[in-house]
Each structure stands twice: as C-alpha cells, then as structure tokens.
Amino acid sequence: MSDTSCDVVIVGAGIVGSACACECAHEGLRVAVIDQDAAPGGATSAAMGHIVVMDDSEAQFALTRYSQVLWYKLRSELPADAEYDQCGTIWVASDEEEMTEARRKAANYGRGGVPAQLLTTADLERLEPKLRKGMAGGLLVPQDSVLYPPAAARFLLERAREKGARLHLGRPVEKMGRGRVQLADGSEFSAAVIVNAAGTWAPALTVGVNVTKRKGHLLITDRHPGFLRHELVELGYLKSVASFTSDSVAFNIQPRKTGQLLIGSSRQFGADTKEVDHAVLRAMLARAQQYMPELGRTSAIRVWTGFRAATPDKLPLIGPSVEDSTIYLATGHEGLGITTSLATAKLMVDQLTGRNPEIPAAPYLPSRTVSLENAHA
C-alpha cells in the first residue's frame, strides 16, 4: 500500500492543484497528484495569464495582492517558456464616470500598498498610442504581469515532483471521501487529506460545492510587435462582470512576449458546450475595436473558449469542505485562478500545518457559503 497511501492526495493538476502540490511537497508532506488528463485540460489551458490585483472586495484584493507578490518573487525561477513579463495593467477609463472609478481604485490600491498611477488623456495616448483618442484617462498598475499559464502550471507540477510528489496523470477519479480516493481504473488511494482541485468539475466529486461554469472566449492574433505594451482592461468591466446572471463582453487585451495579442473577454452563464458562440465573439471583437480601431486589421489566428469556476460571492473556496473534514476544497477561482493559485497553495498548507496565514483565511473558507445562505434565508 506504500505507493497509494500518503498525507495528501490532490485531485486536479491544473494550476491550482499544481501549486498546492508544490507547496505541500515543499512542506515535506507525502503528496500524490491525480488528473484525468495527461495535459492540463481545464481552465488553465484556456486562460489569459494576467496576474492582476483586483479590488471588487477586500478579500479579493488581499488574495490577489498576496499572489501578485508571490509571482514576482518566483519570477527568476520560472522557465523561459512561462513568459513571465511584468508589463503592468492599464485600467482604461473611457469617460468621466469611469475616471471617478479609476480615482477610487487608485486610492484603494494606495491604501493597500499597491503602487498605482493615475493617467491623464495625454498619458494614455503616449503609453498606448493605438487606443482610440480622447479617452478620459486610466490607472496604471505597474506590478501586474502576464505569463503563459500551461507552462507555469507545468513548472509548478515538475517542482512538486522533484520534491517527491507522485504524479498520476491520465487517470480519472471516480469518487472520493472519508480519506479515500477511488479511481476509474479500480485502484484506490488513501490519505489524511484529499484536496479537490478539480476546477469546474469539483461539484461532481464533492457534494455541496457551489461552483458554476462561466464560459469565456479568447482570440489570439499573429505577431504584431509594438502594437501594445500593457495589459489593457476597460473600467466598464466592473459593471459588466458584477451581474451574476447575464452574459457580457468587455475589452481586455494582452501583449504576449511573441508580439501576439490576446483579445478577450466574454462571460456567459448556462453555456455548457465549448463551441465558439459567434454572436458573443462578434460582440467581444466589436467592443475591442471600439477601444482600438486598428485591431480590425490585425490577423486573427485562433479563437477558443474555456470555463471559469464561479462562486456566488466571486471568492474561491479554500479549506475543509463542510460535509467531509478529510476533503479540502481549492476551487471556485473564477477568472483569477492563474493569479491566485500561489496564494491558494499557501493558505491551504497553512491550514494543514496549523500555521498562521499571511492574510486572513476566513473569507475563503467553504463554510462561509453555508452561513451566507443562512443569512439570506
């Protein structure tokens, strides 16, 4: 039984599971990582890789800032193919209303110790000349960065392996609970702790996980070096992602080290198939062209979709599940799991080892949703 009994079994080798594996192995725990796929097949292989501080809530701000710093510290160890690039984010304000939001954000980031600089119309035109002229301004967050998620995830997983974690890839888990994990091939693992890091699949493995799929579209262009320098996000974004139920598109564009441009973004609920939805794609691209008219002439190479694991309060689930104390959840990262994977892993290990976390862990505990539902009832 020596091969199949360990301290922690992590189900899911996306970026969240990989980060958890790396952190657990580093702690000296005996770790097994199981994934149904040989390659990261979930959201991690479809994501944009924007490492970004967000402040929709205080808890979101704490988690993303903690992660942003962790990625920065890791940067020199990341392999070249992870393409880490601290290009910074510019939140683009198209009008005065959005500029007010930029100012609020600037003040908030300042209070939290995150460097951020307000930009005037002229600043914006100088920094990103391809933006439509006459925008109200923006907010530059220079410590945000971009990376290539599949390569970053693989790096974390490889690290975990070097530190003794055992990888079992291409092996679907059928069920788990009470310290046991049963695979589709009939084999079984036992462990004190089982981490459900199965992303959008998490509810299939643990009852009571309130995570739904939020579909997104992305488009990558051919190489257009110099077209763009920062990751640009429209400030109207907040207004469009805030609503939990309606489909929306927003302008979001990322420069890749290769000179390619990654264009997003869309959010759809209740869309279950991975086929490109052309109405959504058209709306998303039309939106992008409103901000950068010359995008219309760039050459699109590929469009794809992915699914984010969304929770009602837009915060991930990190910690013991309510139903089964041997199961820890690490899912529900929605559109920020690339960023927050590193902090998730830290918080997870702190809980397993009883250490004091660097940021309060309570806002992400799965038990909160139960109390939240009770409060609403």
Partner 1 sequence: MTSAAKTEVDTLVVGGGPAGMWAALSAAECGMRVAVADDNPEMGGQVWRAELAKTAPEVAGLIQKLREAGVQLLAGTQVVDQVAPGVLLAEGDGGASYLGFGKLILATGAREQFLPFPGWTLPRVIGAGGLQALVKSGLPVRGKRLVLAGTGPLLLAVAAYLRAHGAEIAMICEQASRSALASFGAALLRQPEKLLQALSLRKALTGIPLALNCWVVAAHGTVAVEGIDIWHEGKVKRIACEYLACGFHLVPNTELATLLGCRLVNGYVEVDEFQRTSRPGIFCAGEPTGIGGLELSVVEGKVAGLAAAGREKAARKFFRRRRMLGAFARAMDRTFALRPELKNLVEAETIVCRCEDVSYAQLEREVSWRMAKLMTRCGMGPCQGRICGPVTKFLLGWSPDSVRPPLFPVTVGTLAHSFSGCNVDDNQER
> Which parts of this chain interact with partner 1 (CB under 8 A)?
38-40, 45, 81, 150-151, 154, 219-222, 234, 236, 239-240, 246-250, 263, 266, 276, 278-283, 285-290, 295-304
Which of 25, 31, 42, 59 is the binder for ligand FAD (CB under 6 A)? 42
The residue among 204 and 286 lying less far from ligand FAD, judged by its C-beta, is 204
SS3 114: coil
Minimum distance from residue 152 beta carbon to partner 1 (Å): 11
DSSP states of 285-296 as a string?
A: HHHHHHH-GGGG
Q: Does 319 bind ligand FAD (CB under 6 A)?
A: no
- Of 10, 21, 32, 43, which lies in the binding site for ligand FAD, with binding defined by CB under 6 A? 43
What is the Cα Rg of the chain in Å? Answer: 20
In a 10 Å sphere around its CB, with 0-12 CB exposed, 13-18 middle and 19+ buried, how is residue 69 labelled? middle
Q: Is residue 331 a contact point for ligand FAD (CB under 6 A)?
A: yes
Distance CA 197, CA 95 (A): 40
Q: Name the residue among 73, 69, 6 with its Cα closest to residue 33.
A: 6
DSSP code at position 254: E
Q: Kindly state whether residue 17 participates in binding ligand FAD, applying the rule CB under 6 A.
A: yes
CB of 243 to partner 1, least distance (A): 8
Q: Which stretch binds ligand FAD (CB under 6 A): 42-50, 101-109, 127-135, 271-279?
A: 42-50
**Interaction with ligand FAD in 335-374: which residues (CB under 6 A)?**
335-339
CA 351 → CA 19, 73, 193, 242, distances in Å? 15, 22, 11, 30
Residue 115 makes CB contacts below 8 A (sequence gap 6+) with 109, 141, 142, 143
Residue 115 touching ligand FAD (CB under 6 A): no
Q: Which does 93 bind (CB under 5 to 8 A by kind): partner 1, ligand FAD, none?
A: none
Three-state SS for 162-204 is HCCCEEEECCCEEEEECCEEEECCCCEEEEEEEEECCHHHHHH
| Strand extents, DSSP E, 14-154 | 31-35, 50-51, 89-93, 117-119, 137-141, 145-146
Single out the residue of 287, 314, 333, 346 in contact with ligand FAD (rule: CB under 6 A).
Answer: 333
Interaction between residue 237 and ligand FAD (CB under 6 A): no
197 touches ligand FAD by CB under 6 A: yes
Residue 246: name its binding partner from ligand FAD, partner 1, none (Cβ under 5 to 8 Å by kind).
partner 1
33's CB contacts (< 8 A; 6+ apart) are 9, 10, 13, 17, 18, 21, 157, 160, 165, 166, 167, 168, 169
Amino acid at 286: A
Count, residues near ligand FAD per rule CB under 6 A: 41
**Residue span binding ligand FAD (CB under 6 A) among the ranges 133-141, 156-164, 196-204, 268-276:** 196-204
Is residue 85 a contact residue for ligand FAD (CB under 6 A)?
Answer: no
Select the binding partner of residue 377 from partner 1, ligand FAD, none (C-beta < 5 to 8 A, by kind): none
Tell me which of partner 1, ligand FAD, none is bound by residue 263, counting a contact when its beta carbon lies within the kind-specific cut-off of 5 to 8 angstroms. Answer: partner 1
Residue 127: strand, helix, or coil: helix
Report the residue number, 23 or 35, with the smaller CB distance to ligand FAD. 35
Is residue 308 a contact point for ligand FAD (CB under 6 A)?
yes
Nearer to partner 1, 153 or 315 (CB): 153
Tell me: does residue 173 bind ligand FAD (CB under 6 A). Answer: yes
